[in-house]
Structure 1
């Protein structure tokens, strides 16, 4: 069995990120606040701009992309906190530890970038997502917002927070 390698993508890796993002949108269209049709039309300069707005991490196994996550600040957070978002793992690798490795690498990157906390938004009715984040060390907060995708009028997500002052789980 080969190991999962998680690496930080640089601007010149925009095509790798583009393909992973488009694969995620095709596989899980209700999980993201974007559509495959819209993002597939973006040109190279728009993808390069995205690479510079947030950190993009990709998980690879045997040279193939098996997952992706992004880390970056959002306008609604303070300067000590950054967000983990866009987490996706190819279906055949779910439950194999890829998501854990991506979140661990994302937390490490956020810490290296000087942040003290990592936020992660999870649907309040997504028991599996809440359990996963909790097992990693994220704790629920009182912050709630309407679901941006795939939810009904009353569906909401909660902000979970992870202190980067604690050692990242091994």
Structure 2
């Protein structure tokens, strides 16, 4: 990623008053990659503004959950990535934070622009420094090859664990662990 690409984006935690931008990028993500999230576009679209305000407020302020935005030069969110504390971890190594909500708008994807890497740098730093994570994990849909490949390049490895995908139990989520 070039220095110009890095300076073209601001990556920071969503602010509580940015619920409309969060709603827009989330709906875009659900339309673009329906298998990438545990929520259907139609269900998200039907949610009242109060739900979006609360989701954004929590992601902006909660000590155990943070959602980061990559903003283009106009201030529009073009990517997201968050992390939350996993309530019941099967790991014995300590506190586990799970990355979620990873999405980059199609016109901002690719290693030349580096938006996904910028988001992961921010969310992993937060997970370790503010979230107190000993372990960082994520899950990826078995048919989301592009995301799976990026996660491997970034330093995640498959754990061998899978679970049924909540929106289609004939499909699986693959669990990955960060080794960077």
| Range class of TM-score, shorter chain | 0.7 to 0.9
> Match for 2:151 among 133, 152, 155?
133
Once the 2 structures are TM-superposed, how far is the Cα of residue 152 of structure 1 from its aligned partner?
6.9
Conserved 8 A contact 1:82-1:110: yes
The 3 A distance-change label for structure 1 pair 42 and 74 is: farther
- Distance in 2, matches of 1:147 and 1:110, equals 24
Conserved 8 A contact 2:36-2:144: no
Superposition RMSD in Å: 2.3
Q: Which of 125-134 and 49-58 deviates more? A: 125-134
Conserved 8 A contact 2:36-2:140: no
Superposed, 1:147-166 pairs within 5 Å as 147-149=165-167, 153=170, 155-163=171-179
Conserved 8 A contact 2:85-2:95: no
- Distance in 2, matches of 1:133 and 1:39, equals 26
The residue aligned with 1:11 is 16
With the length of structure 1 as denominator, give the TM-score of the two structures: 0.82
Superposed, 1:36-55 pairs within 5 Å as 36-51=41-56, 52=58, 54-55=65-66
> Match for 1:106 among 119, 123, 132?
123
1:90-138, Cα deviation, whole Å (9 max, x unpaired) = 1111113111111111101111221112111123454433321122111
- Distance in 1, matches of 2:161 and 2:136, equals 14
The residue aligned with 2:108 is 93
Contiguous gaps of at least 5 residues in structure 1 = none
The residue aligned with 2:68 is 57
Runs of 4+ in 1 over 4 A off after TM superposition: none
Contiguous gaps of at least 5 residues in structure 2 = 60-64
With the length of structure 2 as denominator, give the TM-score of the two structures: 0.78
- Distance in 2, matches of 1:123 and 1:30, equals 7
The secondary structure found in structure 2 opposite 1:62 is coil
The 3 A distance-change label for structure 1 pair 77 and 92 is: same
The secondary structure found in structure 2 opposite 1:69 is strand
